[in-house]
Amino acid sequence: RRHTRFKCDWSSDVCSSDLLLGRRYMAAQSFSSPQGKFMAKERTFSIIKPDATRRNLTGAINAKIEGAGLRIVAQRRVKWKQADAKKFYAVHKARPFYKDLVKFMTSGPIVIQVLEGENAVAKYRQVMGATNPANAEAGTIRKEFAESIKANSVHGSDSPENAKKEIKMCFKAKDRKSTRLNSSHT
Ligand code: IDP
Ligand code: MG
């Protein structure tokens, strides 16, 4: 094996070897809450979309994420090429908004993230709010920040299975070559 294995404290901020080693560690990890309670840990994949980075809302959105008790364990600002967006949203290929969505997601920089916490997938969907900001609940990211049903500021995985796929798709290859995640920040 070419990668280094790092000693992992599951209550700590970042465990890079988890990301690097992939699925093996993704499933049944757990961590301690600040109160010392043993909790089931889950990860989800998040994107801060171009409409939000353009308006300098990365920090405001991250504050919502952290305020909900989710931990940002990986984060990178990137600009997607057409092929990246097409691949990521391939499930929506047949939908009438697909082309426009790909164009939007490549219109500016995005911030890709891995969020971790108890029930992270469902919790983040709740913090995001409904796809259409007009239908989103008060206090959600989309209600407060989204511009439209398309430019709705954030993406969040819709199931733990898709979270794993999306994290692998967006982080693995690049981060294997990177040392950026190779520290625990504790
Ligand atoms: P989600 O992001 O809430 O999971 P999806 O139905 O998975 O919503 O759609 C993916 C993304 O496609 C949305 O977040 C939004 O950016 C875009 N989208 C969804 N529905 C429409 C639409 O009716 N018109 C334009 N864009 C849409
Ligand atoms: Mg979706």
Q: Is the CB of 158 within 6 Å of ligand 1?
A: yes
Angstrom distance (rounded) from CA 46 to CA 166: 9
| pTM for this entry | 0.80
State both tokens at 123: 């919790």
Res 184 pLDDT > 80: no
Is 13 or 43 the better-scoring residue by pLDDT? 43
pLDDT at 75: 97
Beta bridge partners of 115: 44, 72
Rounded Cα distance, 58 and 50, in Å:
10
Residue 170 has pLDDT above 50, yes or no: yes
Tell me 68's DSSP state. T
Burial degree of 38 (CB within 10 A; 0-12, 13-18, 19+)? exposed
Nearest CA to ligand 1 atom 11: 150
C-beta atoms surrounding 85 within 10 Å: 19
What pLDDT is attached to residue 18? Answer: 41
Query: DSSP letters of 39-59?
Result: EE-EEEEEEE-HHHHHTT-HH
pLDDT of residue 40: 74
Tokens 């919502």 appear where?
A: 64
Residue 183 has pLDDT above 50, yes or no: no
Higher per-residue confidence, 57 vs 9? 57
CA 66 to centroid of chain Cα atoms: 12
Q: Which of 3, 92, 155, 185 is catalytic?
A: 155
SS3 content of the chain, % helix, strand, coil (to 5): 40, 15, 40
Q: Whose CA is nearest to atom 16 of ligand 1?
A: 150
Q: Report helix, strand or coil for 67.
A: helix
Q: Once rounded to an integer, what is the mean pLDDT over residues 81-110?
A: 98
Q: Residue 28 has what pLDDT?
A: 40
Query: Which ligand neighbours the alpha carbon of 162 most closely?
Result: 2
How do residues 23-46 score in pLDDT, each as one tens digit? 333 434 565 556 666 667 899 999
